[in-house]
């Protein structure tokens, strides 16, 4: 089976963005497409009619910004030894970081936590959905075509979860060792919360709410 081609999206916040063919494979699945029907800001659109944007476009934006940041680091700091697999894993983590969101987004998370005994989070649900998406759509072979194996899947899931401050990265648990520790702060920064997820939703939410915002994709 041949791989699909690059796809260009005309994003209202970031402009024309081109996505890797493997990212397109992930996007063209029922599990990812469901994000079209989940409002980014829940019921806020009842007060701000423009706030009808969804988790689908936000996830694409985060995947794009994650790629912009890691590719910038790769080109400007070769001593970090970031390779093409690292870049693709970071992009996929950004793209898939919100797969586990339910109706009304964070409000749904609050309700679930009240009835579920274990330490449930939308990040952990996103990781479960990531595994299900790959298995249900037989994407393992397409990941292998792009030289991504089990360690890379561990890495992507660890990027979605984020590493707590002081946690040492290991290949066995996280897919990459401590020398790549900085990459875990791109999508879900547990050290200071400054990451591409915030960059996109600050810019995107302000755009749709009609609130002035000075943050652009170039700031990453």
What residues are annotated to the active site?
A: 122
CB 60 within 8 A of CB 196: no
CB 126 within 8 A of CB 160: yes
Query: CA 220 to CA 205: how far, in whole Å?
Result: 17
Query: CA 65 to CA 14: how far, in whole Å?
Result: 9
Long-range contacts of 8-17 (CB under 8 A, 24+ apart): 9/60, 11/57, 11/60, 11/61, 11/64, 12/57, 12/207, 13/61, 13/200, 13/203, 13/204, 13/207, 13/217, 14/61, 14/64, 14/65, 14/217, 15/217, 17/60, 17/61, 17/64
């Amino acid at each position: 089976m041949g791989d699909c081609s690059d796809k260009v999206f005309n994003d209202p916040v970031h402009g024309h963005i081109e996505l890797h063919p493997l990212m397109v494979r992930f996007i063209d699945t029922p599990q990812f497409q469901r994000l079209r029907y989940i409002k980014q800001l829940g019921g806020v659109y009842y007060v701000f009619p423009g706030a009808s944007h969804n988790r689908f476009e936000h996830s694409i934006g985060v995947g794009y910004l994650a790629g912009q940041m890691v590719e910038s680091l790769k080109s400007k700091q070769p001593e970090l030894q970031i390779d093409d697999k690292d870049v693709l894993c970071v992009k996929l983590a950004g793209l898939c970081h919100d797969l586990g969101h339910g109706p009304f987004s964070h409000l749904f998370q609050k309700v679930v936590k009240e009835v579920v005994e274990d330490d449930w989070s939308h990040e952990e649900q996103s990781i479960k959905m990531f595994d299900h998406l790959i298995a249900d759509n037989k994407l393992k072979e397409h990941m292998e075509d792009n030289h991504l194996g089990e360690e890379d899947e561990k890495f992507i899931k660890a990027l979605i979860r984020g590493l707590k401050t002081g946690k040492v990265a290991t290949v066995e648990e996280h897919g990459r060792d401590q020398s790549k520790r900085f990459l875990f702060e791109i999508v879900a920064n547990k050290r200071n919360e400054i990451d591409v997820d915030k960059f996109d939703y600050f810019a995107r939410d302000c755009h749709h709410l009609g609130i002035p915002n000075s943050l652009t994709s170039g700031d990453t």
